[in-house]
Amino acid sequence: MSERDAGRDLDPDEDDASWREPAGAGKEDDIQHSLFGEILDWMLAPLLLLWPMSIAITYLVAKSIANQPFDHALEDSVTVLAQQIHEVNGKLAPRLPGSARDILRADDVDSVYFQIVGPNGAYVDGDRDLAPPTEDDRNKPGVVHFRNGNMHGTPIRIAYSWVGLEDQGAEESRLALVQVAETLEKRAKLANEIIKGVILPQFIVLPIVLALVWFALARGLSPLAQLQERIRARSSDDLSPIDSRQVPEEITPLVRSLNEMLGRLSLSIEMQKRFIADAAHQMKTPLAGMRMQSELALRQTDQGEIHRSLEQLAKSSESATRLVNQLLALARAENQPQAGAALLPVDLAELARSAVRDWVPASFNYRIDLGFEAPAEDEVPIEGNPTMLREALSNLIDNALRYTPAGGAVTVRVRRTEHEGVVEVEDTGPGIPPAERTHVFERFYRILGSSAEGSGLGLAIVREIAHQHGADVDIFSNPRSNNAKLPGSLFRLTFPLRAPDDEPEPDPPYYG
């Protein structure tokens, strides 16, 4: 297997632009809405719209109410006038004295008109300008009807009735028309008085209603202000849950979600504190060794001793560099986004092949046979971050090379099942006891009695990256080992395959 071109190696500390979410993606408008104002709008807007409608409806009802008593008066006038009609020598002669006419027309506000018309439309008495009803309005005698009209350009209300005349020689009954009309001043005044009696109290009630609505909203939303004050009064390191019993029922889901977020934040801060403490503790040893070796080299005069001190200093520097790199890799893995949109199409087989190529020179130094078994299929498509996946595979290969004795073998194998892509790293080292397999993924954990150099972070990085990609990581004994003292280990990473319908057709990702 040939070594990859060193110029194409990826820097593990370099940010992968493809892993980050595009700038501005999912950004919402920075428009802040007031809950108080929105509720107030939804309450007052219908109220202010319904108020003019209520005025219009009140006006129509007031006009209807005002018409009723005056229509009854007109009806009585028509009935009385109809009773005064009689025939004298075949001609109509109303028995209406002058005083009765004066009483009929006596009105300080409205003008009153009347008219009596004979059977053939001949004028008998009253106002000639009063228009007759249409033929469609001709009904049976004795029934009073109403209609609206105009007299000299002024709106009037007209009551009219047909009066039957007795004529035994005629085959058809003869009808006379009696009409009484008046202008609408009294009706308009009464309607206005009714409207004033209804609308004026509304002008007083409406501001009171607005003030009560404002007060009710302010009082109803006061628990939010109280919750804000309680949160603001907390110290910066107080991440204890908020008591949901002190808030209204409608705000309880929000408080519960906030408590869940505080719990996650508290756990994250605790993990960071523990990580910093462990990292500081682990860094003490290589730094102390480097300082001791440098001081020793300064005191030596023999070139051989100085050379040996410098060699030890170089080893300590290499150990410290490896520890720092792994700490940075673990921190980056823990802070990667877990959203599926951040994952890219990856060929697991090609990624594993390129990672193995990079470790071939190191395998020569360890005198270990490093091999790669490709899958039967052309590719194993998954979704992931190529940089982080490469980091996980590198840690597994590095771990296998360090713990496998010289002359042993390490094999990286990729295969594909119906729904999963699998990568395995198999070695012929001392293996991991079943009781220790759940602990080796912990930070800085090292199996007692192990002589291999390491920081105890490699497998923690593998677990974190696998978790970010929704993958499973398992440890088994090497099923191909026949040596009881060296049972070997098999690390297996299982990824879900990328759905065929969602497979895009971009350029192949660059792995090395």
The dihedral over CA atoms of 32, 34, 38, 44, expressed in degrees to the nearest 10, equals -130
- Here the tokens at position 162 are 């047909």
- Here the tokens at position 327 are 């700490």
- The reported pLDDT for the residue numbered 17 is 42
Cβ atoms 38, 396 nearer than 8 A: no
- The reported pLDDT for the residue numbered 26 is 45
- Here the tokens at position 494 are 């299982």
Concatenated DSSP letters for 155-167?
EEEEEEEEEEE--
Q: How confident is the model at residue 8 (pLDDT cuts 50, 70, 90)?
A: very low
Cβ atoms 412, 352 nearer than 8 A: yes
Cβ atoms 453, 399 nearer than 8 A: no
Distance CA 259, CA 355 (A): 43
Sign of CA dihedral 392, 393, 394, 398: positive
Per DSSP, 130 falls in state: S
Per DSSP, 486 falls in state: -
Residue 276: CA atoms inside 13 Å, Cβ hemisphere, count? 5
The answer on pLDDT for 401 being more than 60 is yes
What pairs with residue 472 in β-bridges? 494
| pLDDT per position as a tens digit, 288-327 | 777 877 887 788 888 888 888 788 777 777 767 766 776 7
Lowest mean pLDDT among 193-207, 310-324, 331-345, 396-410: 331-345
- Here the tokens at position 316 are 């300590």
Residues 387-413: what's their mean pLDDT? 90
Q: How confident is the model at residue 25 (pLDDT cuts 50, 70, 90)?
A: very low
Strand ranges inside 319-389, DSSP E: 344-347, 369-373, 381-384
What pairs with residue 511 in β-bridges? none
- The reported pLDDT for the residue numbered 220 is 81
| pLDDT per position as a tens digit, 231-279 | 888 887 788 888 877 778 878 888 888 888 888 888 878 877 776 776 6
**Mean pLDDT in the chain?**
78
The DSSP element (H or E) to which 177 belongs, if any, is strand 174-183
Residues 219-235: what's their mean pLDDT? 83
